[in-house]
Amino acid sequence: MHKPVYIVNDHILSVMGTSTDSNWNSVLKEESGIALIDPLFPSDQAIYGSQLKAYPVVNKKATKLENMFLYSIQETLRQTSIKSSNDRLMLFVSTTKGNIDGLGNKKQQPSDRVELHAMTHFIQQELGLVHTPMIVSNACISGVLAIQTAALYIKHGLIDHAIVAGGDLFSKFTLSGFYAFKALSAGICKPFDKSRDGINLGEAIGTVLLTSDPAAAKALYAVEVKGYGSSNDANHISGPSRDGSGLALAVRKAVRHIRTEDIGFINAHGTATLYNDNMESLAFQQLGLGNVPLNSLKAYYGHTLGAAGVLEVIISIRSLLNNTIVKSLGYEEAGTEGTVNVARTFIKKEIHTVLKTASGFGGCNSALILRKA
Amino acid sequence: MSELNIRNWVYINDQEAVMNDEQQFSFKKEDTADQKLEQLYRSLGVAYPKFFKMDAQSKLGWASAEYLCEGGKVFATNAPEERALVLSNQKSSLDTDEQYQQSLNNQEEFLPSPSVFVYTLANIVAGEICIRHGIKGENNFLISERFDAEALVNYTRILFEEELCKQCLLGWVEAYRGRFKSILWLVEKGESTDDRLFTVKNLNQLYQKSEL
């Protein structure tokens, strides 16, 4: 007997605030967390990004990223009846690079915990989690894919509850790589806009709590994980497919058990590179979703890598609960091959279902359908 | 659900490449990892120039999948989107991460390489395998301190039960500081013998065989 799976609580730690409420309020005010920052290396262009100058210190032995994870996970559990010692609870960590800044240290120490399993083991010990956490590291779809993986574990009865925590640092390592790719925007990024010129990187943690039993968890809300699917373009390791067919494959799986006309809005990946946004527009058009209101949150947060999928799911859940589709910040003029209905303003309307997508290096794509219970 | 059968399995370690219990290639002890992987490529007799652009981990995964998929023959009955790929390892892309980091330490000549940077993600080896074999289905890359047969079997079984795939390639791929090790399975529904049943026990036994 398969169990339904619900997301029942969440937490965001970002430059926009140390709670989901503060993040949501900043988004409603159209505030961007992206600013001009120290490039960390000799750069011939101004670098914009979102970086946390201060963060909550839970444990003095923890790294910055570990403290961010610990804080966000504790805050997520705090308001529910699920304890970290629950033996039916499992943690799923989504990250691309973990404590990558430790790799640049002149004398690297074991306490830098550069390897992802070492970081995750530390988090497990600190929180007193019974099960060894699962680490999903699948480029920019990690967050969405970790939610899929956790939901499947619950649905198939392996566990009853899951924490999915996604996070990555704003690091010289990653920043320089996207700089070398000439993929960084000269200002605050403009997803799906005609004049978009690349991405901003950001750092954040997003955490969600999943369960098969919202009542037992004393849930604050319940949004069902109704569909999921991932795919690979099998085309190119660093460029998205030209025609969007790979992303369309993931979305088709995610919408298997719903009617596509029920989708109230799409929260796209929308990195604001020419190729990504173009690819997405073609995918949504061929799926017959070209008229569905669509947004990208990258101009608020930048691309937060392992956090992005989780963080964007949380903002999308707020949208569902408040019947408010978030304005796609930075968008002015259509500039993609496929026709998509990018949200130019905040839209107040009755919505119950969202399609969330992500795509990343390695040609991977991922999609989720979430529905208000 | 009908049983899941291990159709093929392959491991490559620093000494040899073995498929379904038969040695396919044996490495010279004195050779470097780069030399070993290039010899393996030559022995496979496939013209795939992109191989030389890959990092060691991707070369290793590519060569492993080349055996496992029997030149694509194994996919005859299924569509690209019905093929899944679930990989795992301990160190993510640390081998290439360290090389890339070296290039960042030179402040005088700051020239980070995009072609190195792209390999600083765990799942790039998965992308290379998908490109080579037209795998367009489910993808996942799991990091674990040790080989975790239980996680691989659990997740793969769920993918089949959910009808998210009809075939799945899964296993472990890791290259780090001149040493490498991969072990991959190709799993599909069908009749099976005891030693080919897709179980945690069988995966662990085969993993033991691949250990040096």
- Closest chain B residue to the Cα of A144, Cα to Cα: B140
Task: With CB atoms and an 8 Å threshold, state whether A231 touches B138.
Answer: yes
- Partners of B122 on chain A (C-beta within 8 Å) are 137-138
Cβ <8 Å between A96 and B131: no
Rounded Cα distance, A60 and A63, in Å: 8
- Tell me the pLDDT of chain A averaged across its residues: 97
β-bridge pairing A89-94 and A134-136? parallel
Restricting to B residues 141-160, those with a Cβ less than 8 Å away from any Cβ of A are 141-145, 151, 154-155, 158
CATH code for the domain defined by A225-372: 3.40.47.10
Name all domains of chain B by residue range, CATH numbers in brackets. Answer: 4-210 (3.40.47.10)
Taking the C-alpha atoms of residue A209 and residue A161, their distance in angstroms, rounded to an integer, is 7
The answer to whether B104 contacts chain A (CB < 8 Å) is yes
pLDDT level of residue B1 (50, 70, 90 thresholds): low
Q: What is the mean pLDDT of chain B?
A: 96
Instruction: Chain B: give the shortest CA distance to residue A167, in Å.
Output: 15
Residue labelled with tokens 């978009």: A196
- Let me know: does A190 contact A48? Beta carbons within 8 Å: no
| Distance (Å, whole) CA A348 – CA A175 | 36
CA–CA gap between residue B130 and residue B109 (Å, rounded): 35
Minimum-distance CB partner of B107 among A42, A141, A232: A42
Chain B residues whose CB is inside 8 A of the A180 CB are 111-114, 117
CA distance A26 to chain B (A): 32
User: Which residues, listed in sequence order, are joined to residue A12 by a DSSP beta bridge?
Assistant: A206
Same fold for the domain at A6-211 and the one at A225-372? yes
Contact A115, A52 (CB under 8 A): no
Torsion of CA A252, A253, A258, A264, to 10 degrees: -60
Which parts of chain A sit beneath pLDDT 70?
A: none
SS3 state of residue A73: helix
d(CA B49, CA B54): 10
Q: Say yes or no to pLDDT of B2 above 80.
A: no
Angle (nearest 5°) at CA B51 between B47 and B52: 110
Asked if B5 is an interface residue toward chain A (Cβ–Cβ < 8 A), one would say no
Q: Which residues pair with A17 in a beta bridge?
A: A14
Per the structure block, which two tokens stand in for B166? 């009809």
Euclidean distance between the first and final Cα of chain B, in Å? 36
Q: How far apart are CA A301 and CA A188, in angstroms?
A: 10
Q: Which of B85, B118, B161 sits opposite A238 (nearest CB)?
A: B118
Distance of CA B167 to the CA centre of its chain: 15
Tell me the three state secondary structure of residue A62.
coil
B70 and A CB contact within 8 Å: no
A362 close to B123: Cβ distance less than 8 angstroms: yes
Predicted local distance difference test score (pLDDT) of residue A7: 98
Tokens of B92: 């993510």
Distance from CA of B23 to the nearest CA of A (A): 30
Per the CB < 8 Å rule, is B124 touching A237? yes
pLDDT digits (tens, 9 = 90+) for A101-130: 999 887 888 889 999 999 999 999 999 999
User: Nearest-CA residue of chain A relative to B110?
Assistant: A42
Residue A316 structure tokens = 């999308």
Q: Do B141 and A136 touch (CB under 8 A)?
A: yes
Q: Among A104-113, A143-152, B32-41, B87-96, whose mean pLDDT is lowest?
A: A104-113
Identify all chain A residues contacting B85, using CB atoms and an 8 Å cutoff.
232
| Cβ-defined contacts of B93-96 (< 8 Å, 24+) | B93/B55, B93/B57, B93/B119, B93/B120, B93/B121, B93/B122, B93/B124, B94/A114, B94/A115, B94/B176, B95/B55, B95/B56, B95/B57, B95/B175, B95/B176, B95/B177, B96/B55, B96/B57, B96/B120
Q: How far apart, in whole angstroms, are the C-alpha atoms of residue B114 and residue A238?
A: 10
Residue in chain A lying closest to B120 (CA): A97
Confirm if B84 and B159 have CB atoms less than 8 A apart.
yes
* Contacts with B200 from chain A: Cβ below 8 Å: none
Phi, psi of A158 (to 5 degrees): -70, -30
Distance (Å, whole) CA A297 – CA A191: 8
A85, two tokens: 């010692």
Looking at CA atoms only, how far is residue A5 from chain B in angstroms?
14
- Tell me the chain A residues in contact with residue B91 when contact means C-beta distances shorter than 8 Å: 115
Residue to substitute from B130, B150, B176, interface A, most A β-carbons within 10 A: B130
Q: How confident is the model at residue A134, as a pLDDT?
A: 98
Q: Name which of A98, A172, A253 is nearest B164 (Cβ-Cβ).
A: A253
Provide the token pair at A18: 């140390």
Kindly list the residues from chain B whose CB atom is less than 8 angstroms away from the CB atom of residue A173. Answer: 97, 100-101, 104, 120
Q: Which tens digit of pLDDT belongs to each residue from A147-178?
A: 999 999 999 999 999 999 999 999 999 999 99
Q: Tell me if A232 and B130 make a contact (CB, 8 A cut-off).
A: yes
Q: DSSP character for B3?
A: P
Size of interface A-B (CB pairs under 8 A): 156
Per-residue pLDDT, B53? 97
pLDDT-derived band at B212 (thresholds 50, 70, 90) equals: confident
Nearest to A136 by CA among A109, A104, A163: A163
Supply the ipTM of this predicted assembly: 0.98
User: Taking the domains of chain A in order of start, what are their residue ranges?
Assistant: 6-211, 225-372
Chain centre to alpha carbon of residue B159: 18
**Closest Cα of chain B to A129: distance in Å?**
16
CATH architecture of A6-211: 3-Layer(aba) Sandwich (3.40)
Q: Which of B163, B153, B172, B156 is nearest to B92 (CA)?
A: B172
> Nearest-CA residue of chain B relative to A229?
B138
How far apart CA B18 and CA B191 sit, in angstroms, is 23
